Amino acid sequence: MPYTPVTPAQFKLLENGVAHLPTNARFTIHPGGGDLENVEIGDLGSVLTNGEQYSETEVAEMACRIWKEHCG
């Protein structure tokens, strides 16, 4: 089964990171660096009740990209 596409609209900015809403995964970003500091995996990698499944790598990459764009 192919992974569900990851889009920026699936994310919410937090005070110190980014959340992926479909999986409830949360990424804490190192201040000033943009690198992942901590990940709460949520349902990332699992098949969700709606049949979607997200790649852990793709979600993490998008979370970092969104954070870096936010911090400018």
**Of residues 14 and 1, more confidently modeled:** 14
Cα dihedral 10→16→70→57 (10° resolution)? -50
**Of residues 36 and 13, more confidently modeled:** 13
pTM (predicted TM-score): 0.88
Span 24-64, pLDDT tens digits: 999 987 766 666 778 899 999 899 999 999 999 999 999 98
Number of domains into which the chain is organized: 1
**Residue 1 belongs to some domain of the structure:** no
**Residue 3 belongs to some domain of the structure:** no
> Which domain range does residue 37 map to?
8-71
**Residue 42 belongs to some domain of the structure:** yes
Q: At a CB cut-off of 8 Å and minimum separation 6, what does 21 contact?
A: 10, 11, 12
Q: Which of 7-16, 24-33, 62-71 has the lowest mean pLDDT?
A: 24-33
**Residue 41 belongs to some domain of the structure:** yes
**Residue 57 belongs to some domain of the structure:** yes
Q: At a CB cut-off of 8 Å and minimum separation 6, what does 5 contact?
A: none
